[in-house]
Amino acid sequence: MKNLTKVSIALWMVIVTFIYACGGSDKPTSTQEQAEAPAEQATVTDTKAKSNSKGVGRFTSVEIGPIDHDLAAKGEAVFTSKCAACHKTTADKVVGPGLKNITNIREPEWIMNMITNPEEMTKKDPVAKALFEEHLVQMTFQNVSDDEARQILEFLRKNDSQ
């Protein structure tokens, strides 16, 4: 009988130790932490809405006038070689978003900064961040020159005018 009592006490000690180790501490659980933590204000950016942001990069002012068809033709060639693997000029998504109507909802500077500076844009620009979260892929740097970025912009403007 004494052996049974010793076993029972030992068993209870193991159970108590186990319960304490698995959650008997004073540290709040993640549910408690969430309930006690102040609510964070999440900024939601609608990626399909018009934005007046110029983005992040060297383009702060881009002069545009009537569509330059020669520049647009050069832009189409650059787009085909450097952009078409991930983007369509329709609303359809490939890897990245479809670009139909892009020149109507984004500033020319934003478009050119996104083309030439995609990594910094997705880190610092709210719209680019939201696009990254939506599409789950980082736009890659394609080593597009400033002139090529302007050509692509003109091609996209022509596409959006049709």
Where residue 113 sits, what CATH number does that domain have?
1.10.760.10
**With bands split at pLDDT 50, 70 and 90, how would you rate the model's confidence at 45?**
confident
Over residues 130-151, the pLDDT tens digits come to 999 999 999 999 999 999 999 9
Whether 82 is in a domain gets the answer: yes
Domain count, the chain: 1
Over residues 21-32, the pLDDT tens digits come to 444 444 444 444
Whether 84 is in a domain gets the answer: yes
Check pLDDT > 80 for residue 33. no
Whether 53 is in a domain gets the answer: no
Over residues 60-111, the pLDDT tens digits come to 999 999 999 999 999 999 999 999 999 999 999 999 999 999 999 999 999 9
Whether 2 is in a domain gets the answer: no
- Please check whether residue 150 is in contact with residue 93, taking contact to mean a CB–CB distance below 8 angstroms: no
**With bands split at pLDDT 50, 70 and 90, how would you rate the model's confidence at 6?**
low
- Please check whether residue 129 is in contact with residue 42, taking contact to mean a CB–CB distance below 8 angstroms: no
Q: Please give the model's pTM, rounded to 2 decimal places.
A: 0.73
Whether 94 is in a domain gets the answer: yes
Instruction: For residue 18, give Cα distances in angstroms to 8, 9, 31, 145.
Output: 15, 14, 21, 64
Give the domain extent around 105. Answer: 69-161
Whether 92 is in a domain gets the answer: yes
DSSP output for 107-137: -HHHHHHHHH-HHHHHHH-HHHHHHHHHH-S
Whether 28 is in a domain gets the answer: no
Whether 17 is in a domain gets the answer: no
Mean pLDDT value across residues 122-130: 96
